[in-house]
Structure 1
């Protein structure tokens, strides 16, 4: 580990062990550097890295503070990292979605409020109205699932799935552009999920969500097997050696 990495690890340890709880103000730079046996330059670099990671925040004219450490904040960088993944990792992310989303939907069936169900139904209704507009349909598709996961009350789960679905969103748009029957099937699958949620049936909700995600995954596998380009993948260059 570099000295900067050691400084970062030490500050993380202080936060983990409660010396610097969420919202706490860090000691002045010079004091903290002396306590950790580091130069001020190294301490400054460590603080910058932790600010980028949303662990710390600098309040101009006031000092440096530990953030709320909320999952939505700490995992925010995951979305940017996921967006850089290329090629067949679209399918890998769909597999991750298949593992998490049905379980989250089952949990939502036991925890969703009337307000949650109203929000979910609103996006389902908007999907029906947008059958001929692939991008708008897909936008409400994503919002539908976001509302379902929000109903679990689990911020960590909601954040993880939001970032995974953000990358697979383009795959769903692409599917809508190439499969004329996709809109009708997608709406039918979402209606099945909604009915299971209204019935407060976690097993049925999980099964309906699994069927829905599996449809997209099977479609992707089929098109990857045919050698077609997936959204976000680097474009294949022609092989001039065979010409």
Structure 2
């Protein structure tokens, strides 16, 4: 856009910021990852300004500490003061699917730029857990809106393609492309999701002139007396 002076002023301001502490009792690591880390990495990829990369590493290292739990699942609503005091950290029992699966793109890109695999490995472990459970949810192929990362028990009954899970589904083909197609897991996960969504989540509404339009809806799954799932759109 030609706004080089404005960009330089912004980089200077960012380079003087400290992410080492906050007065807030907790931070949302999902939001910090997508907005702070994602923004810094995007700005670096456009400018190759190493001050931005240094800040991205600073934020990435801070978020990496949120994965220091017994099962390496990240804490989303994270008290970083407790982490700084080296107190025990345990993953939460209820977070949205988008929050849990939100780290793979930014962490992978940070690993690609720095050559340090620890960021990608941390996010990859989470995605591998999601893959393991993808076929065993109540609506096989999709994940419920709310997940339990502490127990890795993903047995919710509410499914959607919208808020609280959409960024997880969108990250699958993007991660596949970002990794150059070298990890087929992400393509398989996305294909399973689209097949299930096409069969259960899409409906054809009444429209003027009978236009061929499909709309995504939310699905609640209940179990019948013989133990089989029944979907309600």
Point out which structure has higher relative CO (alpha carbons under 8 A, 6+ apart): 1
Could you say which structure has the larger radius of gyration? 1
Question: What TM-score do you get using the length of structure 1 for normalisation?
Answer: 0.26
More helix by share: 1
